[in-house]
A and B are shown apart, each in its own frame.
Chain A
Amino acid sequence: MLIVSLIGVPLVGALLISQAGRWPNVREAITLITAATLFGLATQLIDPVVNGAGASLSVAEPIPGLEIAFDVEPLGLIFTLLASLLWFVTSVYGIGYMRGGNEPRQTSFYAFFAIAISGAMGVATAGNLLTLFIFYEVLTLSTWPLVTHKQNDAARAGGRTYMGVLLGTSIGLLLPAIIWTWVVAGTTDFVPGGILVDRMGPTAAAILLTMFVLGIGKAAVMPMHRWLPAAMVAPTPVSALLHAVTVVKAGVFTITKVVVYIFGLDFLATVPLEKYLVYLAGFTVVAASIVALKQVEIKRMLAYSTISQLSYIVLAALVLAPYAEIGAAVHIVAHAFGKITLFFCAGAIYIASKKTRVDQLRGIGLRMPWTMVAFAIGALSMIGVPPTAGFVSKWYIIAGAFQVDNFFVLAVFMASTGLNAAYFLPIVFRAFFRPEDQAPPKEHGEAPWPMVAALTFTAAGTILFFVFNGPIVDIEARMLEVAR
């Protein structure tokens, strides 16, 4: 029942929003109430899942022996909590953004946003690959109207790339991988320890794993990353929540689930080609950082930074060390807070000053101190400097690399830390310590207060997570105990 309401509440919200288009205040109130309700419901899951009771549900059986079923496990719980909490924050922010920017078609914007969240809830709580795939596609399809929101040529082109890559990878690689898994194992349930052990030779398993890693296009492992920069034509709240948190995390979440519950860590360790995928993820980390270095649009730079950070998680999941698995889960949360802060800042800058380029930001820190301090915190978290969230996950992932003596991972992290610093720190520096080139055409201060409140909240979260990450780590450690 709880799971049904997790998926159903945002859908009901979407329905109500679509009917309330004439009264913007009612419409926004519905969004906020729905988001708050959803987070409340998600917290109800903590107890049963942490105590090991779990929560599962079977709905229908479209293919004999294959059900649409839900089962919440620790990783899914974290994803649920994260997405619902940040949805609320983003809704507050979005109200400021959409009104401040006088965006058209706000009703359909809020409605599709809610549907996308519903899809994310389904991904988080899916009990098998089929169910996960269903909601994975719901998420893809419901975000297309959001990406193409502006309805101009750039939006249409971006939307085409977005759909092309995401549907192409999911139908072309992920779906056959799922069916193959089902033909081999007779089930697609997420079972601790995996379902493919002794059912598949190492070479076949290596091909299957490659199909999964590349087929889950939402994880944006190169060369399947092009959709993410393309998605930046969307309004910033969409980029912030969906393309820094929900959609992309659904991708890495799926990869982690496949690694832990479909293959199993012990079985994967025997797969020969596995280490090449580690190299691919490592390459993505470094290459995306280098590309980010050359970007002039703030949002595109952040998108490439996201590609790089997502591959941290994929890399961590594929290192197959217990600490690294914890690090992967922690980084899902840590990166979410840091990156959503950065996007919130980019949107705030755009609404306040219409600036979108990195080289326009000289001296802006004096006009928008709250925003740029938050930006600095987010940037430090991306680099992995204490006391920010990014440091915690990096710690666990590197500890995991030492557990299995994987020095390649170590080298990747060192290189990427340097690169991250190289593209984030100059922005912060120029914003505070360089004078403005010329006075802006219109005097401006901070963006509307809901936006500032939201970005302050997430920036504070980025710092607090450094101190209070215990519960998340505990929950993940429990998952690994069960998985062993």
Chain B
Amino acid sequence: MTILEWMPFSVLVPLIAAPLCALLPGRVMPWSLAMLAVIASAAISALVLPAAVDEPLRYAFGNWPPPFGIEYYVDAVNAFLALLISAMAVVILPWARKSVNQEVPERQGPFYALFLLAMSGLMGITLTGDAFNVFVFLEISSLSTYALIAHGQRRAALLASFRYLIMGTLGATFYLIGIGLLYIATGTLNMADLAERVPEVSDTRAVRAAFGFIVVGIGLKLALFPLHRWLPGAYANAPSAVTVFIAATATKVAVYILLRLVFTVFGVEFALDMPYREVFFTLGIIGILFASISAIDQPTAKRMLAYSSVAQIGYIALAISLVSVEGLAAGLVHIFNHALMKGALFMAVGAVIYRLGTNRVEDFAGLAKSMPWTMLAFVLAGLSLIGVPLTAGFISKWALIQAAIAQDNWVAVAVVLVGSLLAVIYIGRIAEAAYLRPAPENRAPIREVGPWMMVPLWLLIAANFWFGIDTSLTLDTATRGAEVLMGVGP
């Protein structure tokens, strides 16, 4: 089999493994099957990336030639993202084992089945070249994510899940309406085909409305300010392992699909004709400032990191509003780097929850003594979030500021820097509690977590520094992807 024929299996393996997983009894077997499935998926993604960077891979399902059948269309942009999703799943699952045993003690078969479904849904959205197929996978991943969030231990998890369900369904419906309008206007659902036909009808009201519906619909999934209200509750109340996974991947996929539709399907000129630039620039800036400031006085570490995620989405929105190769590259690089840093941060907080059972900020007091490696990891990942040099976060900030300066956009530069400084404050709150405040005297002695949690956490920390120094994979691929999206370059 060639790489082209292997490629769809990065989606299919977890999709097929999911129902099997649901049937397996006990704790070890479902986890092992899930682990095998994500490893296979990641291995395939790793092989696909170098092939797809040179020339797009196109695979027609059931040999129905596109645009009649569904095709997978893989180029530098989505191959990169698929590798990110599957690799994060590989790192997260070993970490999740202990945490899930504690937080979801019963019926782990269905839990891991939902995890696989969510992951294969995200992979499917990423790889498919069919706009309606995106909707199908979007629903697969969303529905399983709602269920995963509802596994949270506290009753608030049900409410958070329900809120997300309402907002997510609204978003998916808007997206569907948009796709429907496009289908009426052009008679096709294949993205490559759409890209050719949309310009002919681009000044019709239907296509403009479709653009609006699609952007708002995806904006909801993306948690773009002010459509972010579902996110903090969902992140804060989901089981720790789920939070790590969706924080690292789910919103990233929404960004991708937005980029793909806006730049590939509608095209740069159409987007510039619509108020795309202004909307994303304004919302990005307000999102960064509002969410960073909100993060400062959140009662728990998870909520704080959730608001920080909303702010990071603001950075990405700001980056892609610049509509230049540098700007899109900065956005794509930040998608990758933010997954690394936020994954590590949520893992560190998850480790604290595993030992301490709580993650209120004041409960971090004195933790640096009892959990030194976890807290050190938290601080290092926090430095990456702030954007201190030698970390991946620094590369993101550098790329974004460079893109903004190249357009003389000093407002963007200032906002990015202010955002970094606000991050110093909210990360500093936890660091100060952990290192400089004495532990409460009535606290039972706690130990550091074991290697199952420690190794994945430090793998991500290492990756944060590796991709802060060697950027040949991230920055080069992102630049290549940005060139593809802008329709320039070789």
Set B405, B424, B436: member contacting A159, Cβ < 8 A: B436
The answer, yes or no, to whether B117 is at the interface (CB within 8 Å) is no
A133 touching B402 by the CB < 8 A rule? Answer: no
A134, A168, A171: most-surrounded residue (chain B CB, <10 A): A171
List, in ascending order, chain A residues with CB within 8 A of B397's CB.
175
The answer, yes or no, to whether B486 is at the interface (CB within 8 Å) is no
Considering only residues 390-410 of chain B, those with a C-beta below 8 Å from chain A are 390, 394-395, 397-399, 401-402, 405-406
B470 touching A62 by the CB < 8 A rule? Answer: yes
Instruction: Tell me the smallest distance from the CB of B466 to a CB of chain A, in Å.
Output: 10
Query: Can you list 19 A-B pairs, Cβ within 8 angstroms, ordered by A?
Result: A60-B470, A62-B395, A62-B468, A133-B389, A134-B390, A145-B435, A151-B437, A155-B436, A160-B428, A160-B432, A163-B424, A163-B428, A167-B386, A171-B386, A171-B420, A171-B421, A175-B417, A176-B401, A176-B413
A134 to B468, CA, bound (A): 11
The answer, yes or no, to whether B262 is at the interface (CB within 8 Å) is no
Which residue from chain A places its CB closest to the CB of B401 in the assembled complex? A179
The answer, yes or no, to whether A114 is at the interface (CB within 8 Å) is no
Given contacts A63-B471, A160-B428, contact A179 B402 (CB under 8 A): yes
Which residue from chain B places its CB closest to the CB of A134 in the assembled complex? B389
A130 to B418, CA, bound (A): 20
A172 to B423, CA, bound (A): 12
Interface residue total, chain B, C-beta cutoff 8 A? 33
Q: Is the interface of A mostly helix, strand, loop or mixed?
A: helix
A133 to B436, CA, bound (A): 27
Considering only residues 435-459 of chain B, those with a C-beta below 8 Å from chain A are 435-438
Q: Lowest 5 A-B CB distances belong to which pairs?
A: A134-B389, A172-B417, A183-B405, A60-B469, A179-B401
A455 to B26, CA, bound (A): 70
The answer, yes or no, to whether B159 is at the interface (CB within 8 Å) is no
The answer, yes or no, to whether A297 is at the interface (CB within 8 Å) is no
The answer, yes or no, to whether B388 is at the interface (CB within 8 Å) is yes
The answer, yes or no, to whether A256 is at the interface (CB within 8 Å) is no
Instruction: Tell me the smallest distance from the CB of A155 to a CB of chain B, in Å.
Output: 7
Considering only residues 343-389 of chain B, those with a C-beta below 8 Å from chain A are 383, 386-389
Instruction: Tell me the smallest distance from the CB of A467 to a CB of chain B, in Å.
Output: 42
List, in ascending order, chain A residues with CB within 8 A of B388's CB.
137, 141
A294 to B465, CA, bound (A): 46
A145 to B432, CA, bound (A): 10
List, in ascending order, chain A residues with CB within 8 A of B394's CB.
62
A176 touching B417 by the CB < 8 A rule? Answer: yes
Instruction: Tell me the smallest distance from the CB of B234 to a CB of chain A, in Å.
Output: 30
Instruction: Tell me the smallest distance from the CB of A119 to a CB of chain B, in Å.
Output: 12
Considering only residues 129-143 of chain A, those with a C-beta below 8 Å from chain B are 130, 133-134, 137, 141
A399 to B47, CA, bound (A): 68
A68 to B470, CA, bound (A): 11
Given contacts A134-B390, A176-B413, A182-B402, contact A64 B475 (CB under 8 A): yes
Considering only residues 58-110 of chain A, those with a C-beta below 8 Å from chain B are 60, 62-64, 68
Given contacts A155-B436, A183-B402, 7 further A-B contacts (CB under 8 A): A62-B470, A64-B475, A134-B390, A148-B435, A176-B413, A179-B398, A182-B402
Given contacts A171-B386, A172-B421, contact A63 B398 (CB under 8 A): yes
The answer, yes or no, to whether A180 is at the interface (CB within 8 Å) is yes
The answer, yes or no, to whether A164 is at the interface (CB within 8 Å) is yes
List, in ascending order, chain B residues with CB within 8 A of A145's CB.
435
List, in ascending order, chain B residues with CB within 8 A of A160's CB.
428, 432
